[in-house]
Structure 1
Amino acid sequence: MGYNFGANRAAWTFFVIVYTTSVSAAAGQDNLLSDLGLDVLDRAKINISLQEYTSVLSTFLRTKDDSFEEVPELRVYRLDNLPKQGPTRKPLKMLFSVPASTDKIESATLRLLLPPQHNDPRVINIAVNQILGTRRKRFIKEEIFYLSNNLTKWCEVDVTDAVLSWTRGQKNLGLELFCRNCHNNLNPSISAITALVHSSSRRKRSIGVSKGRTDCSLRHQKGKGKRKCCRHEMHVTFTKLGFKQMGDILEPKMYEAGYCQGMCPPNYNLATNHSRIQGLMHQLNKREARNFKNKTMVVPKTCCAPSKLGDLDILIVDSQQPDKLKVEKWQNMRVLECACS
């Protein structure tokens, strides 16, 4: 049986290309996370209290720039009469007073202050169900709680789907939490749902770069030829980018980043003096190329690119003080204006 050198060389070349591409992509991801200052958080140490969360987030929302996205309001549904669980291990049932409304729920989180575990496991698996009837329930989420043997710990789990269904009119019969590997009941001392809500009663207004002279919605109408260089909307959801660390961002979960696209005809919205010179050289080289039968290298025309960028405020857990929240400013995260460059 002969040795197929060509086939093996092709396979090896393909492997090298794939490996090199993967390594480059991973390096690019690491550089991005490093540039943004996103640290890997030790989830076992995070202990954000309800007071810390509501206080810092309220201030963050109050000072947030609303030029691009509608700013939600924070609502807290606190359970004052916590159910008393007996010695027999059973699911924890909680009923929160979340009314039906036409408000838009951006996110909702169940927050529990759990007692020291003593001899119980410190890492427990919690299954959260929405109670639909006497014998009916809907699985919402399974979450890992990191507890302590001698300290109280704040734990949280996403319950957006349940809260959203209650606001839309589904009968609110509460939530059920079951610990898969606990020896005793959870017995939280504080329990609350925090929700980011866009109220339907607030006055609606147009969100966008109303003053941006390159905003596509203002400069161009559909069906009138090719669209010239302008700013388009691009909504970015952090959790969809594939970086685990971005799931730790408390606010915003999504933001409008924008991008530039469109034609750059001669003398249109030029960004700099260099852009003007490049545009002139492009026209000159095109004429020379025609006269000398394409023997002259043509300088490329100007391209639609960002001409003004903006920053983005991020609310995240402080990796140095995991019981505190902090606001970071990420630079050059938004396109504000576009021009031909």
Structure 2
Amino acid sequence: MGYYFVVNKTAWTLFVIVYISVIVADSEDPLINSLGLDLPDLPKINISLDEYERVVTAYLSEKDDSYEPVPELRVYRLNNLPRQDASHSPKMIFPIKMSSETVESALLRLLLPPQNDFPDIIEVEVYQILGVRRRRLLNEATFYLSKRFSKWCEIDITDALSTLSAKNHLGLELVCKECTNNLNPEVAAVTAFVHTVEKRKKRSTGIVGRTDCSLRPTKTKKRRCCRHEMTVSFTKLGHKFLESRVVDPKTYEAGYCRGLCPPNFNFATNHSRIQGIMHQLWKQESVNAKNVNDHNAHQIPKSCCAPSKLGDLQILVVSKIDPSKLEVLTWKNMRVLECACF
């Protein structure tokens, strides 16, 4: 018995050391530091459904739609929760039907009861119920529970709503293979960012800079310096702490600059115009130079296509001071609005 206790204590100590090391290493990440984002203490995050709905609704009402269409927040509460045996995985049937709407993102939000038994950090899976004996895995997540009070947890279920038809309801099953505790949620809801067809049609196609990137280049006329679209996903950046802190947007239109800079085209400064002319003169002189290698040592580069105007990005994040609250931050110079030759 003593040996079993020592082994388990050693394993738990090793887990804690590794977990703290991951947090420290991630807090020193240059991307996190450059964005000025304080990392939350993940086990302490406890955003209630009321707080989420209140702040997100206000945030979306003030959001600028010049870059992407602003979604609508849909909240589907499951009022009549079936009480199931603790030995079985909780199953929930939400009366949700999707038709012509587009789902940007969706979360299953659960208020789970206090966990009197070890562990309070669990790995869970959520499945979509497709039939009596058919289901498919949607996602996996780590839930940080409490021994003293109920905790709000969430897991992404975007794929489930994206494929939901106008005929079927949404059936979900929460599975924790190593749990012996009661995972029957006290409250369950699905929150989704949804775009209607009408809003999609009204999407602004603004931010194109000073040249038209939609013009197709030809063999004789290559595309000149202009702004191109680039969608950034915080999930794909590979920072799970950044992903857990940023509530919205999960993706945003950042843009980038690319193209040629011929003389006198879309110059940003008088210097860049002169540099473009000098580059052309250098090319002409290099053709007549006797010693090409010596001439290349004094090469004058052509002007480069680069951002000439940048825009800010508003983000909705978990508060560092109070992990039960949400707040809006502004990140400077996160979007390319216009491009020019420098």
TM range (shorter): 0.7 to 0.9
Name whichever of 228-237 and 292-301 sits farther off.
Answer: 292-301
Q: Give 1:256's aligned amino acid.
A: E
Q: Give 1:247's aligned amino acid.
A: E
* Selected match of 1:148 from 133, 146, 149: 146
Partner of residue 326, structure 1: 327
Q: Give 2:339's aligned amino acid.
A: C
C-alpha distance in structure 1 between counterparts of 2:137 and 2:223, whole Å? 47
**In structure 2, do the counterparts of structure 1 residues 211 and 124 end up closer, same or farther at CA, with 3 Å as the change threshold?**
closer
Q: How far has the Cα of 1:250 moved from its partner? A: 1.5
Q: Which runs of 5+ in 2 are unaligned?
A: 1-24
Partner of residue 301, structure 1: 302
Q: Is the 8 A contact 1:209 1:215 kept in 2?
A: no
Name whichever of 272-281 and 252-261 sits farther off.
Answer: 272-281
**TM-score, normalised with respect to structure 2:** 0.83
Correspondences of 1:174-185 after superposition (within 5 Å) = 174-185=171-182
Q: Give 1:251's aligned amino acid.
A: D
**Tell me, what secondary structure is at the counterpart of 1:245?**
helix
C-alpha distance in structure 2 between counterparts of 1:177 and 1:89, whole Å? 12
Correspondences of 1:122-271 after superposition (within 5 Å) = 122-166=120-164, 168-169=165-166, 171-172=168-169, 174-202=171-199, 204-210=201-207, 212-217=209-214, 220-223=215-218, 225-248=221-244, 249-271=246-268
Partner of residue 56, structure 1: 55
Q: Give 1:76's aligned amino acid.
A: V
C-alpha distance in structure 2 between counterparts of 1:301 and 1:121, whole Å? 62
Q: Is the 8 A contact 1:85 1:187 kept in 2?
A: yes
Question: Does 1:31 find its partner at 2:30?
Answer: yes
Q: How far has the Cα of 1:173 moved from its partner? A: 5.6
Q: How far has the Cα of 1:169 moved from its partner? A: 4.3
Q: Is the 8 A contact 2:69 2:200 kept in 1?
A: no
Q: Please list the CA deviations of residues 129-165 of structure 1 after superposition, one character each: whole Å capped at 9, or x if unmatched.
A: 2212222222222322111111111011111222222
Q: Is the 8 A contact 2:315 2:329 kept in 1?
A: yes
RMSD over equivalenced CA pairs, Å: 2.3
**In structure 2, do the counterparts of structure 1 residues 225 and 187 end up closer, same or farther at CA, with 3 Å as the change threshold?**
same
Q: Give 2:262's aligned amino acid.
A: P
Identity %: 56
Partner of residue 277, structure 1: 274
Name whichever of 114-123 and 309-318 sits farther off.
Answer: 114-123
Q: Is the 8 A contact 1:85 1:185 kept in 2?
A: no
Partner of residue 46, structure 1: 45
Q: How far has the Cα of 1:265 moved from its partner? A: 1.0
C-alpha distance in structure 2 between counterparts of 1:263 and 1:211, whole Å? 16
C-alpha distance in structure 2 between counterparts of 1:320 and 1:215, whole Å? 45
C-alpha distance in structure 2 between counterparts of 1:202 and 1:155, whole Å? 31
Q: Please list the CA deviations of residues 278-300 of structure 1 after superposition, one character each: whole Å capped at 9, or x if unmatched.
A: 22332343444445434542321
Q: Is the 8 A contact 2:68 2:203 kept in 1?
A: no
Q: How far has the Cα of 1:111 moved from its partner? A: 0.7
Name whichever of 251-260 and 273-282 sits farther off.
Answer: 273-282
Name whichever of 292-301 and 154-163 sits farther off.
Answer: 292-301
**Tell me, what secondary structure is at the counterpart of 2:236?**
helix
C-alpha distance in structure 2 between counterparts of 1:32 and 1:46, whole Å? 22
Q: Which runs of 5+ in 1 are unaligned?
A: 1-25
Q: Give 2:228's aligned amino acid.
A: H
Question: Does 1:121 find its partner at 2:122?
Answer: no
Question: Does 1:312 find its partner at 2:313?
Answer: yes
Name whichever of 249-258 and 31-40 sits farther off.
Answer: 31-40
**In structure 2, do the counterparts of structure 1 residues 190 and 206 end up closer, same or farther at CA, with 3 Å as the change threshold?**
closer
Q: Is the 8 A contact 2:208 2:227 kept in 1?
A: no
C-alpha distance in structure 2 between counterparts of 1:163 and 1:239, whole Å? 19
